[in-house]
Chain A
């Protein structure tokens, strides 16, 4: 566990028996998840349904977001035993959620060998001042964001993948669209800026200058960016892909619907063929009941705005 390397742009300076665990290794797994769907599952059986439907990874949790909303109370990391059972049931990567700032939950998940950790606003916040220092971990993290500044703050803390926050457990895609559009808009604005303006802009969006410069150079985020929070139909998934997202998380949308198998498979197809209306029309037919859904202005608590930093 002593081989954490912070940078390794030093091609060729390592002897050949030196195996490096680095940020590159963490962000690379996310690159392999692109064009795919990551599904929330609560049992090994659901994990198998997700794998059979073509999911590129699953998110293991005790309660899906819609039920967390329904039952209330403090939402925490799931039982490691249950997560291990899901890891044993499927061959695809398994992710799990920890509370924001709860680095011990993250240590536990790293210890059981989880493939990715979601430091998630869906659970109750454990530290309302600080996020987890994710660069201290070997396991990669994904974090939610509403805008470019928030995305870059998470990346600065070591997140190797970013997702929109959306509004999980609602079945309403409006917030995810808002967050995706705002990141896109801010990147476009940044790319068109004069280099002299970057110092003030970095301060304005409260992001590290180095990352702001890198985004300007790349014209996109330096890590993979998925859509999450409110995706319920194949059309929702394709919408997020056409807005430039690299892939899609689906939580309550699948196993809260009438025919989870069919819907899961249709959403996977929609993410691959997001630009093909022929296929999209065909797979959208006869999917049974979608999750009922809640309008996000009617919900008691908006999760996407609960983080202060």
Chain B
């Protein structure tokens, strides 16, 4: 089966995601073929017809402005409108850092005048939650990933535990509120904030086919989290074939 992953390429670390998907494509040699394309315009999206989309890290303000600027005064549709449709159709989408902000229903600490979002993920995020670049950090974190294809055999574990993820947090947002019980928390981490208080933060969430992380697995050589996203994409695609 061909699995097509589109990567929003308006600004930010989109090349790193592409490299991870390409790495996974090399490892896959049985039934599935992964293809990956940078998405910059509505036309790219319509032509490529991705099965899953990744929203990269970068500056969310820049991406939301770039998404609409060249469409002004034309009948070209803003790519964010296409992405909203993609999300509301229940298709798999994964946002890292700025991508997680764009997927959030509510965002705190926006630039003056606010910024346009894609939304659909029922969480509240706060931009630059930990402070400035000097407060960026890297640490080993643990994720508990619900198994996508549940086996009828009750003795099989229902979560996969990854306890050695290299978490890279760059001017990261915080997930400050979960707004609906359909949102599953995949990981927590105790962090020392800039005023030296300790706080347990949420590092990753899942809501049906939507994934979001405030850290950057694409900045490491670890492909496991992206593989998890691809498993969701494959399961979603198969659900239409059954």
The interface bits of chain B over 103-139 (1 if a CB of A lies within 8 angstroms of the residue's CB, else 0) are 0000001111100000000000001100111101111
CB pair A32 B58 closer than 8 Å:
yes
Ordered by A's residue number, 22 sampled pairs between the chains whose C-beta atoms are within 8 Å are: A8-B138, A11-B140, A11-B222, A12-B164, A12-B166, A14-B140, A19-B138, A19-B139, A29-B136, A31-B219, A32-B59, A32-B97, A33-B59, A34-B14, A36-B11, A36-B12, A54-B62, A54-B66, A91-B128, A114-B132, A116-B133, A269-B69
Q: Does A92 contact B (CB under 8 A)?
A: yes
CB-based contact B59/A56 at 8 Å: yes
B132-161 Cβ-contact flags toward A at 8 Å (1 or 0): 111011111110000000000000000000
Closest to A20 in B: B138
User: Inter-chain contact count A-B, CB under 8 Å?
Assistant: 157
Inter-chain contact A268/B138, CB cutoff 8 Å: no
> Which of these binds chain B: A144-152, A205-213, A272-280, A301-309?
A272-280
Given contacts A8-B138, A139-B133, A272-B11, contact A92 B69 (CB under 8 A): no
- In the complex, A16→B219 CA distance in Å? 19
Chain B residues with Cβ below 8 Å from A90 are 111
> What 7 A-B pairs have minimum CB-CB distances, sorted nearest first?
A54-B65, A19-B137, A115-B133, A35-B11, A56-B59, A54-B62, A91-B111
Given contacts A93-B59, A93-B132, 5 further A-B contacts (CB under 8 A): A56-B58, A57-B59, A91-B111, A268-B65, A271-B11
- When A12-B164, A54-B62 are in contact, do A34 and B140 touch as well, CB less than 8 Å? no
Instruction: Pick out which of these stretches binds chain B: A45-53, A162-170, A182-190.
Output: A45-53
B139 touches A269 (CB 8 A): no
Closest Cβ–Cβ distance, residue B211 to chain A (whole Å): 19
* 245-303 of chain A: CB within 8 A of chain B: 265, 268-269, 271-273, 276, 279, 282-283
Contact A91 B110 (CB under 8 A): yes
Given A32-B58, A110-B134, A139-B133, check contact A24 B66 (CB 8 Å): no
Which A136-161 residues have a C-beta within 8 angstroms of B? 138-140
Q: Quick check: is B61 within 8 A (CB to CB) of the other chain?
A: yes
Q: Which residues of A contact B189 (CB under 8 A)?
A: 16
The smallest C-beta distance from B215 to any residue of chain A, in angstroms, reads 10
What per-residue 1/0 map shows which CB atoms of A1-31 lie under 8 Å from chain B?
0000000100110111111111011001101
- Interface residues in A46-82 by Cβ distance below 8 A to B read 48, 51-57
* Cβ contacts B37-77/A at 8 Å (1 or 0 each): 00011000000000000000111011001100110000000
Once bound together, how far apart are the Cα atoms of A241 and B132, in whole Å?
Answer: 28
Nearest Cβ on chain B to A32's Cβ, whole angstroms: 5
Whether A244 sits at the interface, judged by CB under 8 Å, is no
- Out of A20, A35, A53, A265, name the residue touching B137 (CB < 8 Å): A20
User: Which B residues are CB-close (under 8 A) to A219?
Assistant: none
Cα A140 to Cα B171 in complex, Å, equals: 13
Closest chain B CB from A127 CB (angstroms): 25
Contacts of A12 in B (CB 8 A): 140, 164, 166
B192 pairs with A269, CB closer than 8 A: no
